[in-house]
Structure 1
Amino acid sequence: MLNFKGMRFPIDVILVCIRWYVAYPLSYRHLEEIMEKRGVSVDHSSINRWAIRFLPLIEKLSRKHKRPVGGSWRMDETYIKVKGVWKYLYRAVDKQGKTIDFLLTAKRDMAAAKRFFDKAMRENGVPNKVAMDKSCANKAAIDAVNADRDVPIVVRQVKYLNNIVEQDHRAIKRVTRPMLNFKSFRGAGCVLAGVELMHMIRKGQFTIDGADATSFADQFYALAAQVRPV
């Protein structure tokens, strides 16, 4: 359970700050200034701590409300800079563009790709087929998965099929670009969980009562509400 006990600021202030951070291209200092204009004096470092502490928990617990994804996956990786060094964000979407899963890794190799596939399949089931680029590491990872299966996953290394996931990367990069590089690998993973969560909310991927008539903001708060202390 998410524990807000002992926090100096009200829960609503915390949730507003972390939602704005992962929903819009803002820095922590931008948020500090915005909150100051609204009569709330909060240091940017506090918002950073809230994001790292709460965003991955909200994203993890929201998964039970996530709609099922399709069995045809498009998988690719993009670059995320952490402490001035490029790291790798593995992502997959189905043919409808719905986010399947994501994983930040320090390296871009077969082991990293295999960890991504293991995580994605554990959370979303096994796909019928996977489209990817010509990466040898990614192909080796899915071959390793297939080695333990009676019915292998069909692999299609056709570049144009991956256009949908490459376009989907842009929504994530648009939000992370103004963050001015992440200062730690752990912090990057925590914040990216929140960015991906907001992106999935925008794509209507959660079963929330009245979602069709509810704003994206209220859907985020509804998912966060499930982990508030009673």
Structure 2
Amino acid sequence: MTTKRNTLYTGHRYPAAVIAHAVWLYFRFPLSLRMVEEMLAERGIVVSHETIRRWGLKFGGAYAAEIRRRQGATGDKWHLDEVVISIVGKTHWLWRAVDQQGVVLDILVQSRRDARAAKRLLRKLMKRQVRVPRVMITDKLRSYGAAARTIMPGVEHRQHKGLNNRAENSHQPTRRRERIMKRFKSPGQAQRFLATHDQIANLFRTPTDATADRRRQTRRQAHMIWADVAKVVVA
């Protein structure tokens, strides 16, 4: 692979293609930093897991922001859910919103599970999406109703646990990463990692009911967008 000239990589000894590939491996798959280090070593690329961690911090957010900027229109039905995560022995809540297609709209790590926390999520969503949904679906947590009445009074709000499997299923990759990473180290680290992880997952998401040809086409298109986002091109 060759790289396009970009100041983002100025001062780095390794080519952009190597950096982008390492970041992609780490955020795309449930791999530890040491696993990524070993996979690169097998290809003759000697780089420490600590360097890969720093690459993830510096470039992951930049890649995710560009992917979000290129994201097409999302669905008008928002599924919201929250799941408990333990950070350094303290209880926190990961709030996540997805649309009806399973695209992650946003996440927010908070220490509370009340109406104030729900309002913060809704405000963040509306700022990012620049609109309100047609329908909002949640479980029966009362905080959602209180927040919706204040922030989005005209939006239909359906509260039923059985309707919210889309949001609940979106937490599964997070649980896998928690196990690999041996839990998150701080709320800020969890927020940064998951915000990047979910955007990269959105880019490479393939509908489960797609045909084999459609899946291959979707995957090729995703890799083309990723190469452009990371400023690398196939030689």
Change (3 A) 1:29 1:81: farther
Match of 1:136 in 2: 142
Question: Which stretch of the first structure deviates more once superposed, 193-202 or 180-189?
Answer: 180-189
Match of 1:163 in 2: 165
Alpha-carbon separation, structure 2, partners of 1:13 and 1:5: 14
Q: Structure 1 CA distance, aligned partners of 2:182 and 2:39?
A: 18
TM-score between the two structures when normalised by the length of structure 2 = 0.82
Question: How many residue pairs were aligned?
Answer: 218
- Indicate the SS of the match to 1:36: helix
Do the aligned partners of 2:67 and 2:200 also contact (CA within 8 Å) in 1?
A: no
Residues 118-129 of structure 1 mapped to structure 2, 5 A cutoff: 118-124=123-129, 125-129=131-135
Q: Distance in 1 between matches of 2:62 and 2:220?
A: 22
- C-alpha spacing 1:4/1:93, structure 2 compared with 1 (3 Å): same
**8 A Cα contact 1:74 1:165, kept in partner:** yes
CA distance in 1, matches of 2:175, 2:126: 24
Determine what percentage of the aligned residue pairs are the same residue: 31
Contact 1:175 1:195 in 2 (8 A): no
TM-score normalised by L of structure 1? 0.83
Quick check: 1:222 aligned with 2:222?
no
Instruction: State how far apart, in whole Å, the 2-side matches of 1:54 and 1:112 are.
Output: 29
Aligned mates of 2:219, 2:142 — CA distance in 1: 45
**Quick one: structure 1 residues 89 and 51, their matched pair in 2 at CA, closer, same or farther if it must change by over 3 Å?**
same
Q: Alignment partner of 1:181: what SS?
A: coil
Give the structure 2 partner of residue 197 of structure 1. Answer: 199
Residue 72 of structure 2: aligned partner: 67
Q: Does the 8 Å CA contact 1:211/1:219 hold for their aligned counterparts?
A: no
Shift of 1:183: 2.2
* Structure 1 Cα separation of the partners of residues 137 and 193 of structure 2: 27
Query: Mapping of 1:37-186 within 5 angstroms?
Result: 37-124=42-129, 125-146=131-152, 152-186=154-188
Q: Which residue among 36, 39, 50 is the counterpart of 1:34?
A: 39
The CA distance in 1 between the partners of 2:25 and 2:98, in whole Å, is: 24
CA distance in 2: counterparts of 1:59 and 1:36, whole angstroms: 26
2:74–2:103 contact (8 Å) kept in structure 1 = yes
Unaligned runs of 5+ in 2: 1-5, 208-215
Please list every run of 5 or more consecutive structure 1 residues that lacks an aligned counterpart in the other structure: none
